Each structure stands twice: as C-alpha cells, then as structure tokens.
Structure 1
Amino acid sequence: MLEGNRVSRISVRGFAVASATAVTTVGAVVGVASGNAAQPADDSFEAAAADTTLLADIPAGEQAQVQVSSLAEQASVQAAAADSAAKKSAEEAARIRAAKDAEAKKEAAVKAEAEAKAKEKAEKERKAKEEAERASRSSTRDVTSFTAQASYTVAEVKAIARQIVPASQFQCFSTIVDHESSWNYRATNPSSGAYGLVQAYPGSKMSSAGADWRTNPATQIKWGLNYMNDRYGSPCDAWAFWQNNHWY
C-alpha cells in the first residue's frame, strides 16, 4: 500500500497477479469486439489484485529512494559495529597496558628494596671489618715487649710482624716489605738513603716509633704500620697505591 508517497515493500507476487489480470482484461475486450460474450474474470486473480500493490503503481524515483535508504541503514549498522569493536579493542589495550605498568612498578619496587638491603648489609660488613681491625690493632703486642737481639733472621722478623700487624692486613704489609727490602731490616737504598724494612726516607723518621729504629725490626714495623694507616687507611690501601705507582 502507498501512504504519503512512502513504500514499505514491493510485492513481486502482486506484480505477477496484476500482469495476469491485465492480460485477461484485454482478452475480454477482444472477445466483445468479435461478438463473443465476455468471460467472467477469475476470482483468484481479483482477490490477489485487491490485496497487492502493483509494481507499476510505485514511481521509479521512490524505488531508488527505497534502495538508497536500505543501503544507508546497512552502512550505519556496520559503522556502529565497527565503532563498538574499536572501543572494545581500545579498552582491552588499555587494560593490558595498565597491567604491564603495574607489574613494572612492582618489579622496580622489589629491585629497589633488594638494592637497599644489599647496601645496608655491605655497610654493616664494612663497619664490622673496621671494628675488627681496630680491635686487632689494640690487641697487638707493644714494641717494648719484644726482647732486643743483636741480629734477626727473616723468619724472626716476619714472626714479629705477624704479632704487630692485624691478620687481615698482614699479606698486604708483607707484599710491600717484600718489594721494598726483601725483609732486610738493615736495607739501605744507595741512591736515596731510604732505610729499613719499609724504606723510610729519611730513615730517621722512624725515631718517632723508637730510638732503636736502626737495629730493631719491631720498631720499624710499628712505624711502617702507622705510616700506612695514617696516609692510606690501611696496608692494603697502601698496596693498592703501590701497584699503580710503584712507590707509596
């Protein structure tokens, strides 16, 4: 049916029935002209024609409008579906990104905590080491407790050094003495005049540790240890400097 020039549906069946009706009508007219009595139309055709809009009754322009309207509606539905899919995709991407960011923050926090604990542990160990070294220094024998001898072997000099130098620093101290004098407490450098186990220059500086600095290795060891501690922090720090400069 047509209402206000708007078509809701075009019936193919109606078109076929209307065509058949038109043919019957033409036949009836021809029969009258020839003298034959007109035949009554088939009731089924009339009923179909009464219920169906003829295709010919729909203007061509409105048929095109119906097609365009249908295509526009399909495009609108497809666009809406695409927008919905894009929105869902964006939401999922945002969710994944947020999850990754949260995981990265968690890992960073765990790493920072581990680093802080490691730093704290290293600091405690450093302080404990320093405390142990101070305790070791305070527990070493005083130089005056060693009985003076006319001469000393290398083994005897090393034994004295082990009783004066902290155990944790002895190897570094020993290495320096090896390079400077080969544990000869009377060693003299012919060029500079440096003297003793640690090659003090001038040798007389060792008098601050004892008047017997020329002949007593214990006095030389005490002075050398104090020198390394005061100038470098420890014999091992002094040895590190020596390796880079070949003097200390």
Structure 2
Amino acid sequence: MRFRHPDGSTVHLAYCTNVHPAETLDGVLAQLRDHCEPVRRRLGRDRLGIGLWLAKDAAHALATDPSALRGLRTELDRRGLEVVTLNGFPYEGFGAEEVKYRVYKPDWADPERLEHTTSLARVLAGLLPDDVSEGSVSTLPLAWRTAWDETRADKARAALATLGERLDALQELTGRSIRIGLEPEPGCVVETTRDAITPLTAIGHDRIGVCVDTCHLATSFEDPDEALDALEAAGIRIVKSQLSAALHAEHPSRPQVRDALAAFAEPRFL
C-alpha cells in the first residue's frame, strides 16, 4: 500500500511473502492467488504492495526468460498487486522442515550470492510499477560469523563492489534504480547497524546500504534513534525497513518465564 509522508514523499508498505515459501515460479503465482490477493481484498484496497521472496530457481527463471517476467508482471496487475522490494536473504529451502544455519548460505564470499542478487535486481527492475523508479532488495549481513576471516571478507567486499557497478549499469539500461540493503542480524558478521558502517564505508557505493529490521534491533538491544542517527552520520543509506516483532521477557531466568518462552521453540529456524 502507498502512504503519503508529511514531507510529500510516498511510503510503500508491503506484505512479505516469505511467510508463504515457494521454490518455483508456479509456487509464486499460487502465492499471489491464495494469499496476497485475498489479503488485499480483506483490507479493502485497490492495490497491495508485496515484498516478494524469490528462491534461486524462480529468480533464475524470471531473469533469463523475458516472457516469464512479463507474465508475472501481468499476473500482479491482474490481482491488484505491486512489487517495489524483494527479500533476497533466503536463497532456497526456506520452507524446509529444518532451515537453521542454511539460511546464511551461500554467503557474500561465495560468487553464487553475487549472481543470485544480480538476478533479483534485474527481475525487480522489470516488476516495478510504471510510476515507480526505485526499488530495494534486502540481503544477508555478509555471513554467519563462524569461520569468517579476512580472506572471505575481501571476497565479500569485492563482490559487493561488483554488484554496485552492475546496479549502475542496470539503471543506465532500464532507468530503474535498485538498491541493496544488508540486514543486520544477531550472530552474523554484521550483527548490528553499527557493525554495518565499517564494511559499507569501505565499499563506498550509495546503492549498497542497510535494511533495518525492527526485531533484529530489539534482539541486539539497539536503541532505534541511536542506530538511525549513527547510520545517517556515517552517510549509510537505509534502503528498506522490515517491521517485525520480538518476544520480550523482563526476567528470563525465572522458571515460569522460561516455560512460557519454551512454547515458542520450533525446529525450523534458529
């Protein structure tokens, strides 16, 4: 959905589809039919924004087949849906019985992450509504921090610099500006928004910024005002925000509180 900010700019609010995982293009089309359009109708809106998640195979199919991309664009229009952002964090298998640490693979030291994200940017440029010239793709915060070393860090910086160049070329070709946001998350190389400042400053490309997730801010005990001010002071662009929630317990050591929290334990995610 679109909202008018007091400063006159347009704010896009999107329903994230990774809660309904689909690995193939047919699965994505089924999401639009079974979930996204019904949500739009229930809200009573003529148009609903969706934050589309495209697994590796679906992204590759759309990036390499112009007719498939046109078909998806047509289906979005037909169902009163629009896409200005993609969730590029999970690569594949997000609906598997056990995801856990696999969600961080491939990381930004692996060339496959660069190729996948490039495909997503090209797809998004083709899906943006006619009256929208900018889009965003969120991605993982470099890698899970275990086994991360300077060699892998160098590879990641080089990959993101290459991505920035490709995004520049994409805008020249299509007139659409696509930006990528690293999504800080506990346990990762970029665990907090402050952790993002050094690597993004080293890359120095304004198309590579941060995706701020409110749940991750909370679980890292970051103050939102301080986090946003630090990013702004460092010249790091916030390309996207994800509005999600975290459980909070004032006294987690108490047995009854631990029992209550245990009800939320599940085998799929960390």
Q: Report the TM-score, using the length of structure 1 for normalisation.
A: 0.18
**Which structure's CA Rg is the greater one?**
1
Which of the pair is proportionally richer in helix?
1
Query: Which protein is richer in strand relative to its size?
Result: 2
User: Of the two structures, which has the highest relative contact order with CA contacts closer than 8 Å and spacing of 6 or more?
Assistant: 2
TM-score, with length taken from structure 2 = 0.17
